[in-house]
Amino acid sequence: MKLQIQNNFTVELPADPSEINTPRQVQQACFSYVAPKKPSNPSLIHASVEVANFIGLSQEDILSIDFLNTFSGNTIYPGTKPYALSYAGHQFGNWAGQLGDGRAINLTEVVHDGKSYTLQLKGAGPTPYSRTADGFAVLRSSIREHLCAEAMHYLGVPTTRSLSLMLSGDQVLRDILYNGNPAYEKGAIVCRVAPSFIRFGSFELFASRKDHATLQLLTDYTIKHHFPEIKSEGVDKYLAFFQTVTQTTLEMIVHWQRVGFVHGVMNTDNMSIHGITIDYGPYGWLDDYNPNWTPNTTDREHKRYRFGNQPQIALWNLYQLANALYPLINDAKPLETILNAFSSDYEKRYLNMMRNKLGFKIIKEEDAALIESLTELLQLVETDMTIFFRNLSNVQKENSAVDALNAIKEAFYNEKELGGAILNKWYAWFEQYHNRINLEVLSDAERKEQMNTVNPKYVLRNYMAQLSIDAADKGDYSLLNELFELLKKPYDEQAESQKWFAKRPDWARDKVGCSMLSCSS
Which residues are annotated as catalytic? 269
List Cα–Cα distances, 267 to 270, 279, 307, 400, in angstroms: 5, 10, 14, 46
Q: How many CA atoms lie within 13 A of 269 on its CB side?
A: 21
> Beta 43-47 vs 137-138: how paired, if at all?
unpaired
By CB neighbour count within 10 A (0-12 exposed, 13-18 middle, 19+ buried), where does 40 fall?
A: exposed
Residue 103 identity: R
Element (DSSP H or E) covering residue 339? helix 332-358
> How far is Cα 92 from Cα 343, in angstroms, rounded to an integer?
21
- Contact partners, residue 508, CB within 8 Å, separation at least 6: 462, 463, 466, 514, 515
Phi/psi region, residue 416 (left: phi>0; alpha: psi -120 to 50; beta: rest), is alpha
Distances (CA, A) of 332 to 45, 271, 322: 50, 22, 9
Q: Of 328, 296, 290, 295, nearest to 308 (Cα)?
A: 290
Collapsing DSSP to helix, strand or coil, 149 comes out as helix
CA–CA distance, 145 with 149 (Å, rounded to integer): 6
CB count within 10 Å of CB 395 equals 25
Rounded distance, CA 192 to CA 113, Å? Answer: 19
Instruction: Say whether 265 sits in a helix, a strand or coil.
Output: coil
Distance CA 384, CA 398 (A): 25
- Is the CB of residue 218 less than 8 Å from the CB of residue 30? yes
Nearest to residue 187, comparing CAs of 218, 142, 239? Answer: 142
Query: Which amino acid belongs to residue 287?
Result: D
Tell me the C-alpha distance between 257 and 276, whole Å. Answer: 14
